[in-house]
Amino acid sequence: MRPELLVRPSSLAHLWKTLPSLPRDRRYLAGGTDLMIAASHGHAGDCWVDISGLKELRSFRETPSSLFIGSGLTISALAEMPAVKKWLPALALAAPHYASPSLRNMATIGGNAANGSPCADGVCALCSEKASIVLLLKGVKRKLPLPAFFLGPKRTALRKDELILGFEVPKWRHVSAYEKLGPRSYFGISKVSVCVSAEISGGVVKETVISCASVAPVPLMARKAAEFLYGRRLDEGTISEAAALAESEASPITDTRSEAGYRKAMVRVLAARALAKIAAA
Amino acid sequence: MKKNKTESLTAEKGLFTIALTLNGRPAEFRVKPNEFLLDALRAHGWKGTKKGCDTGDCGSCAVMFNGKPELACMIPAVTAHGSVVGTIEGVGTVDRPHPIQEAFVEAGGVQCGFCIPGMVISAKHLLENVPDPSEAEIKKALDGNLCRCTGYVKQIEAVKIASKKLRTRRASK
């Protein structure tokens, strides 16, 4: 059922002051696109704390070496930002695959992580951008590498009442590719997604990060495949070997969206496609 | 985006009074804390916005929410306090249809019609930002609006016709 109480704090300071007076089973409401689904299944708490109006969560800052993305920014707002197009190609490429235009206008990047789903397109892209997640609880901040934030399906490192403040993403000269396999070309939840970001220097891979969605209990980092590519040229042989390694790292399940065996095989196909795109870039 | 200080909003007999701008006019709804904008609109007689899946999948409840198409079935009504909402009733009427609505009729893009209000909202937002869209841009703009009758051909044709109509109208002004 949907909760009977909804509160809307005016600032973070007001939020921390209000929380102790609220029912214990409370949930944050940002874009609402996951919470409303949880509500229709009866898992959305007794009280919603609407954080969509908090300016502190919608900041976007650029420094010479990094970007900070506020958790409350919507996917469509991010996709339109010139700094995102320039420095976060993986996120820019993933955006059109993220749900539908109207949902992108509502859904926030923080909520995409907070939901804890291994299929999240925004999270998969940010993982390959080497993002860290910044959490906040009553004035105490902590920072985790984004992949470490996910503990299992729908389980995250968030503590009671802790908020996602945003994401810190380093600036690095890389190219990205985002390959998603869903029920349709667009507007579907992924059966498998593979995102590759790579910095190529003098024809060889200086650094690469490969993240995969929907093929493990958490957003998966294909570390063996990425390590294998270090210092190598991207050619048919190395691409095929890296793609096979990525497949070996995946541990998908069979569910309503796809089958385990098919998903595992598709990790190899999509990883090879993504790497070939990067080689041609 | 304009956000109001809703923290001052208090419930009376379990109902909140929300004030919003609806189709260009001020409106006031009394809503339950657990009510959604879609249900509130329909309960107050604005039935042009359709309730399809009620889970954010089909796009038939798309409305303009603070300048962008959003899904009314996923917006808690209380959070719409102070917002600017546009529904299909604000786009055109039977007597004075909007060129986009005319185009949907001319192209034969309407069968059961349930998805059309949402499609028109999405198409209108597209054409306001991209007056002469490519077919790929039209498909992308409508990809959150599911149709179970026509097969996504006539509606894309309709948006092309609408684009031409609107550009001609603008040029003649």
Closest Cβ–Cβ partner in A3, A33, A106 for B34: A3
Tell me, yes or no, if B82 comes closer than 8 A to chain A by beta carbon: no
Fold of the domain built from segment(s) B99-167: DNA polymerase; domain 1 (1.10.150)
Q: What is the average pLDDT across A11-23?
A: 93
Chain B residues closer than 8 Å to A99 by CB = 144
Concatenated DSSP letters of A4-32: SEEE--SSHHHHHHHGGGS-SSEEEESS-
- Domain holding A244, by residue range, is 175-280
- Report d(CA A104, CA A74) in Å as an integer: 7
The fold adopted by the segment(s) B6-90 is Ubiquitin-like (UB roll) (3.10.20)
Residue B1 has a pLDDT of: 35
Q: Give the mutation candidate from B70, B129, B159 for the A interface (greatest A CB count, under 10 A).
A: B70
**Is the domain of A156 the same as that of A66?**
yes
Same domain, yes or no: A31 and A93: no
> What gap in Å lies between CA B44 and CA B31, rounded to an integer?
10
Distance of residue B172 Cα from the nearest chain A Cα, in angstroms: 32
B19 to chain A, minimum CA–CA distance in Å?
16
Q: Apex CA B123: angle with CA B117 and CA B128, to 5°?
A: 130
The shortest CB-CB distance from A100 to any of B5, B59, B65 is to B59
Tell me the pLDDT tens digit for each residue of A185-236: 777 889 999 999 999 999 999 999 999 999 999 999 999 999 999 999 999 9
ipTM of the shown complex:
0.82
Q: What's the CATH code of the domain at A129?
A: 3.30.465.10
Judging contacts by C-beta atoms under 8 Å, the chain B residues touching residue A48 are 76
In this predicted structure, what is the pLDDT of residue A40? 76
Our CA dihedral for A141, A146, A152, A154, rounded to 10 degrees, sits at 70
Across chain B, which has 173 residues, the per-10-residue mean pLDDT values are 47 83 97 89 97 92 97 92 96 96 96 96 97 96 92 95 96 86
Averaged pLDDT score across all residues of chain B: 91
User: A226: Cβ–Cβ under 8 A, 6 or more apart, which residues?
Assistant: A208, A209, A210, A242
Both A30 and A65 in one domain: the answer is no
Partners of A212 in the β-ladder? A194, A220
Give the amino acid at A102.
S
Q: In chain A, what percentage of residues exceed pLDDT 70?
A: 99
The confidence score (pLDDT) of residue A2 equals: 65
CA distances from B20 to A226, A269, B34, B85 (A): 52, 50, 18, 7
Q: Are residues A68 and A162 in the same domain?
A: yes
Q: Exposed e or buried b for every residue in A24-58, given b needs 16+ CB within 10 A? A: eebbbbbbbbbbbbebeeeebbebbbbbbbbebbb
Q: A100: which chain B residues are within 8 Å (Cβ-Cβ)?
A: 59, 143-145
- Give which of A119, A169, A125 is closest to A143, Cα–Cα: A169
Average pLDDT over residues A140-148: 98
Domain count, chain A: 3
Nearest by CB: A100 against B68, B73, B143: B143
